[in-house]
Amino acid sequence: MVRETKLYDVLGIKPDATVEDIKKAYRKGALKTHPDKVSKDDKAAAEKFRAYEILSDPEKRKIYDQFGLEYLLRGGTSPPPPSPGGPGGIPQFMRNQTFPGGGFSTGGTRTSTFGYGGMPSFMPGNPTSIFEQFARQEGLGAGLDGFDFDFGFSSSPLGGHGPSSYSSSRSRREPPNGRSKTPETTVVEKPIAFTLEEIFHGTKKKLRVKRKTFDEAGKIQREDKELEINVKPGMKPGSKFKFKGVGDEIDGTKQDLHFIIEEKPHERFVREGDNLITTVSIPLKDALVGWSRKIDTIDGKQLTVRHAGPTSDKWQEVFPDQGMVLSKNPSQRGDLIVRANIVYPTSLTAEQKQKLKEILP
């Protein structure tokens, strides 16, 4: 039983929510309350940041659940209500001033000071830092869906916001030997989809990435970075285009961006390796007595497919060198495989059934 549910209500979750539930709830609303998109005086946004900061920290959440928000914010300036935790309701680990995990702070810019009986008081963190820490943990970039792109450099870029009014207080932990530790570069992966025709012929895609950096005063600055992806004919899904140091600045280093090729669903073809598969629908009558169809290849040629029948649902015909271009050898191609989908009638009259019994073996 928790003392109050205010912070849980802010995020729209229940008091028994898991860590993943808390992250999911924060992710859902964080884009609307991004530090760059709201005023620093926005109370609703501030409450969401505070709710996530407290509930995502196991120790702060434990204190909040037991004593409530006011007690956490004041650092225990008055004795809490009795509880099984110990004298005055203070848990054993608080009275000993020892905290699970080696400390009360979870890193970054979150700060704890000490008040009543060694009880840590909560100092709200910087909204930008909270968002950055969440984004870094989740492998995200400037927005919750990764980075913003302008394909073809449209006149209406996504997320085109100016410098933030928030300042960024950035800190680094020093290793035990006192030497400065180089921050680890994070990698953000972003899928980018192409049509089969684009992959077959090869194409170039121009992107505009809106990234976030910091000036000497620690304020957020947004700038555009223009990139170009050169898709070679026949490249396969999962192929990556890697750009070093073009993403958001986090802990003094700029993120690497990896764009991963995906294929858009095609109305006629399915790709399997270097082969293309297409399916023609054949009514049961044609499947039994024979049929002929015209089909288009991916490069616009027309082929005639026919079968004298009967045609089973496992039938297929292979047309060599009519599939996808081989990425390692563009002069060669895979196969085009044509398969049949037998379309059965949805109903038959008694007379039709009788005739089929007389005709079919």
Q: Is the bond preceding residue 176 a cis peptide, omega within 30 degrees?
A: no
Strands (E), the chain: 111-114, 120-123, 187-194, 203-214, 220-231, 240-243, 249-250, 253-254, 256-263, 270-272, 275-283, 291-296, 302-307, 316-319, 325-326, 329-333, 336-343
What is the tens place of the pLDDT at every residue in 132-152? Answer: 565 555 544 443 333 334 432
pLDDT tens, 56-109?
Answer: 888 888 888 888 888 877 654 444 555 444 444 444 444 443 333 333 333 333
Helices (H), the chain: 6-11, 19-30, 43-55, 58-67, 69-74, 92-95, 127-138, 196-201, 284-289, 350-359
Interstrand relation of 275-283 and 291-296 (parallel, antiparallel or unpaired): unpaired
CB contact set of 115 (below 8 Å; sequence gap of 6+): 74, 75, 76, 77, 121
Strands 316-319 and 253-254: unpaired
Quote the CA–CA distance of 246 and 227 in Å, as a whole number: 9
pLDDT tens digits, 105-133: 333 333 333 344 444 445 555 555 566 56
Nearest to 324, CA basis, from 200, 207, 182, 237: 200
The total number of residues shown for the chain amounts to 361
User: What pLDDT sits at residue 326?
Assistant: 95
> In degrees rounded to 5, what are phi and psi of residue 80?
-75, 165
d(CA 119, CA 85): 13
Neighbours of 276 (CB within 10 A): 25
What pLDDT does residue 317 have?
96
pTM of the model: 0.51
* pLDDT of the residue at 255: 86
pLDDT reported for residue 314 = 92
Q: Which two tokens stand for residue 251?
A: 């802990």
Nearest to 19 by CA among 130, 137, 129, 103: 137
Q: Is the pLDDT of residue 303 over 50?
A: yes
8 A C-beta contact, residue 23 and residue 56 = yes
Angle formed by the axes of helices 43-55 and 127-138, to 10°? 50
Residues 6+ apart with CB under 8 A from 228: 204, 205, 206, 207
Average pLDDT over residues 209-225: 80
Q: How far is CA 218 from the centre of its chain?
A: 28
For residue 350, the cross-strand partners are none
Which residue in this structure is represented by tokens 């309701």?
Answer: 89
